[in-house]
Structure 1
Amino acid sequence: MAEKKLAIHEILEIHEVLTMKQAALVKGYVSEPLIKDDQLKSIAQNHLSHTEKAIKELKELLPDRQ
């Protein structure tokens, strides 16, 4: 597969989304132990795993720093 080069504005947008996702992940990890309802806790844990996956995928889009 040919590697696509991202424009600088695309890289900056990915960084912005990545920063928001990482902040949400931290907030989720801090809040999760406070949740008492089992169904809500399950939803929060599912959200955390999806957020971790999204962060990994976003990082894969960024060019390697050398």
Structure 2
Amino acid sequence: MEQKAMGYHETMEIHEIFNMKTTCLLKSKMMQGICLDNELKALMEKDVKQSVQAIQELQGLYKKARTDYVQ
């Protein structure tokens, strides 16, 4: 079955989610370095792993993104 490209608005929404997940990943990674509570550190590590997985899935969606731009 042929896969159709996403619409421009869908591509933009994926991009916004990608940016948000990247920011969350960076924040959790940085906060781990200054956190003293081991339970909180473990939660942040779990968040990092989930964010990496989500980013990889979003990268897969980018393959369906429209690359032609019409003015």
- TM-score, normalised via structure 1 length: 0.87
Which amino acid in structure 1 is aligned with residue 58 of structure 2?
Answer: L
State whether residues 29 and 44 of structure 2, in contact with CA within 8 Å, keep that contact through their aligned partners in structure 1: no
1:63 to partner: Cα distance: 2.4
Greater share of residues in helix: 1
> Number of paired residues?
65
Q: Give the unaligned 5+ runs of structure 2.
A: none
Which amino acid in structure 2 is aligned with residue 13 of structure 1?
Answer: E
1:26 to partner: Cα distance: 1.0
Sequence identity, in percent?
A: 31
Select the structure with the greater relative contact order (CA < 8 A; seq sep ≥ 6).
2
Q: Give the unaligned 5+ runs of structure 1.
A: none
CA distance in 2, matches of 1:4, 1:40: 42
CA distance in 2, matches of 1:8, 1:61: 13
SS at match of 2:3: coil
- Report the structure number with the largest CA radius of gyration: 2
